[in-house]
Amino acid sequence: MIRIGRGGALLSAAALASVALTGCVSQGCPGWAGYDSPPDAVQAADAVVLGHVEELASTASLFGAPANVWSVEVTEWVKGEGPDTIQVMSPPSRCGPTDDPYFGSDPFEAATAHSASVVLLSEWENGWMGLNPGQGIVELTPSGDIPPEW
């Protein structure tokens, strides 16, 4: 049995943390905040709209990765205010050049099939972006409410 003393364990942990941080910094990847529930995300968002994701409007680059920008028809501004149609960047799950920035499908693309969605927005440069890669959009409940759980 090999035993590592307290100093060796701390040194190993520090080395691993250094490698992990270096990888993150070199790619410029953010540490996205996660939210326990849609109501928690509503509180954290800069703005929140109810509406329908219409179509892919364009693409952009976010942290070196390709990002989709979607046209959203707004039926109600729950938090904040703005026009009846907005463009929202769907933040990718990866950073840097990649052929699969969303680890599969873009959640905003999936939302085009929803009759109505809650779009949780963060201000980004001169526009809007989903709150984070996995929690920027959620389908409204059948009664038209913000769901209590993801």
Overall pTM > 0.75: yes
DSSP-derived letter for residue 141 is: P
For the chain, give the mean pLDDT. Answer: 86
In tens, the pLDDT along 24-39 reads 344 467 889 999 999 9
DSSP-derived letter for residue 98 is: -
Say which residues have a Cβ less than 8 Å from residue 119's Cβ, sequence separation at least 6.
48, 49, 50, 51, 53, 72, 88, 130, 136, 137
| Whole-number pLDDT of residue 85 | 98
DSSP-derived letter for residue 93 is: S
Indicate the range of 9-23, 45-59, 75-89, 128-142 predicted with least confidence: 9-23
Indicate the range of 23-27, 107-111, 132-136 predicted with least confidence: 23-27
Query: How far apart (Å, rounded) are the C-alpha atoms in residues 27 and 141?
Result: 38
| Whole-number pLDDT of residue 28 | 62
Query: How far apart (Å, rounded) are the C-alpha atoms in residues 50 and 70?
Result: 14
Over pLDDT 70: what percentage of the chain?
Answer: 81
Query: How far apart (Å, rounded) are the C-alpha atoms in residues 112 and 132?
Result: 18
Q: What are phi and psi of 28, to 5 degrees?
A: 70, 30
Residue 19 has pLDDT above 50, yes or no: no
